Every structure is written in structure tokens, then in C-alpha cells.
Amino acid sequence: MENTNITEEELKKSNAIVKKISDYYTARIVGQKNLQSSLLIALISNGHVLVESVPGLAKTTAAKVLTESCGGKFSRIQCTPDLLPSDIIGTQTYNAKNAEFETKIGPVCANFVLLDEINRSSSKTQSAMLEAMQERQVSIGGEIFKLPEIFIVIATQNPIEQEGTYLLSEAQQDRFIIKETLTYPSAEEEFEVLNRIENMVFEKTESVVNLSHIKYLQNLCKKVYMDETIKKYIVEIVQATREVTKVINVELAKYVVGGASTRASIAFMEASKALALINGRSYVTPDDVKDVAQGVLRHRITLSFEAVADGVAVETVINAILYAIKAP
């Protein structure tokens, strides 16, 4: 199963770029390997990633480190209930001297946009990002402004603190190629964090690659070979989220009230190709699909209130579906 479209030389160059970014990340972030993988997938697929965890687990730091590694323009937006759409996308201001309106582009015009605590912003403000994330453009005063070719939104949210927060709509969540959930570090990892801070190893250094390297990875990702049988495997998994009673145990299936959209299938394909490239391959394997399944589906399957009451996690449902669908 080889892809004649990707040469050995291209794969070698890709591996070198990925290794530089990965080494830069691991030198500054302790643990959180799943987050590293998700950020790399988002970077290579030019997609967006939603990160959920309690405060203090290096979500913001990881986003900054990713930006630093490739020298992109970074923009951080701290979401609050009083944040307005114009604070993100920009607005028109009247210049009395020239007697005309001037357009000021907001912080969304960057290569990497960190939406910190996105669920603290109102639904109106969240919706302002929909056009930017999907169409990669913003509309101000009836005029359309294109965003950078490499445009990645990294949004964070806190799952515990619900006061003053607004749930993300299904349409908003669907724009994220992957959702990653972080857990507390182990005692050894936390000990290492203290040592690194004491020795000041977290200070910013020069980027190890540039945006042209990232564009190279993104173009190469599109050429990664995916067999028809793996595409069918992806479709079967996504279809199963909509017809769970036919696939998994009825007792577990009753908790599912909504399945994944077609965007999930597209996200599966793009994320699987990106992961294959990260792993140094020019073709996708069934294991690549399985490895990205949790990230692709956990924010696209809707569970009932009973699931929350009974302590049933969406990851349990996803694992049951993966177990039921035969891999090629």
C-alpha cells in the first residue's frame, strides 16, 4: 500500500520538519502527549482544535509553544461574557479628519488564534467565529477580508466551572477537527515541571521551522494515500453514531441522542492523513483511524442527561462503536 504521489525525499523532509516541531514541544511541555498529537494534527491539516481541562494544565502554554516553533503570528483572545464580536473580528471607525470610515481588523487575523475559555463568551460572540473558522474570512461593514492561508484556532474551555459560561452550539463544536481532553499530570511529570521552572528551561527561543515548512506539510498531507476500504471504514463508524441501537448494546445506545455529521467523516479523513504523516508514512492505516476516533467524535456525539447522571462518558460509547465495527 504505497503512495506513488509522495516520494521518499518528500517523506524524509516531512519527517525532519515534524521532528523539529515535536522536539521543540517536548523540550517545553512535560507530558500531555495526546495534546501534542492533536496540535500537530491540527497544524498539518490546517484545522481547529478544542481543548478541555481544568485550569493550570498548560493549554495556553502549549498553544504558544506550537506558534513559537514555526514563527507564526500568534493572537490570544481572553473570552469573557462582555466580549463583543467586533472585539474579535474587527470594526469600522469614523475618522473625523478624513471624514470617512476606516476598517480595523481584529485579533482574529493571525496564523494561530487562542480563544481562551471560549465558553465564557456569549453565543453571539461565539457565532462571530463561525465564518472565520469555516470560510477563513471575516465580514466587516459589508466588506470581506481574507484571513491568513495558515489559520488555526485553538480554543480552550473549563468543564467544571459553569457559572458565567455558555454552552458551545453543535454547529460551533462541529468546526473543530479534534477535541482533546487533558488529565492531571503524574507525580513524576509534576516533579519535572518544578525542576524545569527552577532551571528556567521554558524561556522562548528561536523558531525551528517557518510557515513555508508548515505549508509544505499541509500540501503533502493532501497527497497521503487512503484506500477505498479505509474510507468505507470511516463512513461505517460515522453512520454507526447515528444508528447506535443497530451496532452496540441497547443499554448503552439509549444514552445517545445525536450522532455525528458528515463533517465528522471529513475530519476523520483529514486527521488520519495528518497522523499518518506524523508517523512517517505516506498512507493511512486502520489504526490511524482508530487513534483519531476519540478526538474526532467526542464533541460530535450528543448524550442525554441520563448519561451524565449515570456517569456514562462519550468515550465509552466511541470505544463500543469501534469494537463493533470490523476494521479492514
At which residue does the C-alpha cell 489504526 appear?
287
pLDDT given at position 70: 87
Domain 1-198+207-223 has CATH 3.40.630.40: no
Instruction: Identify the pLDDT of residue 40.
Output: 93
- 1-198+207-223 and 226-328: identical CATH topology: no
Task: Tell me whether strands 90-95 and 100-105 are parallel, antiparallel or unpaired.
Answer: antiparallel
| 146 alpha-carbon distance from chain centroid | 21
> What's the predicted TM-score (pTM) here?
0.88
pLDDT at 65: 86
Can you give the residue ranges of every domain in the chain?
1-198+207-223, 226-328
Q: Which residue has the cell 487575523?
A: 109
pLDDT at 219: 93
Task: Tell the burial category of 196 from Cβ atoms under 10 Å away from its Cβ (0-12, 13-18, 19+).
Answer: middle
pLDDT score for 161: 55
pLDDT digit of tens for each residue in the chain (328 aa)? 444 588 899 999 999 999 999 988 888 888 778 888 999 999 999 999 999 887 777 778 888 888 888 888 888 888 888 888 888 888 877 777 777 777 888 888 889 999 888 888 888 888 878 888 888 888 887 788 888 999 999 998 877 555 556 677 787 888 899 999 888 888 988 888 888 777 766 555 678 889 999 999 999 999 999 999 999 999 999 999 999 999 999 999 999 998 999 999 999 999 999 999 999 999 999 999 999 999 999 999 999 999 988 989 999 999 999 999 999 8
CATH superfamily of 226-328: Magnesium chelatase subunit I, C-Terminal domain (1.10.8.80)
Q: Using an 8 Å Cβ cutoff, are 159 and 55 in contact? A: no
Provide the residue type at 18 as one letter. Answer: V
Count CB-CB contacts under 10 A for residue 204.
9
* DSSP result, 173-209: HTT-SEEEE--PPPHHHHHHHHHHHHTTTTS----SS
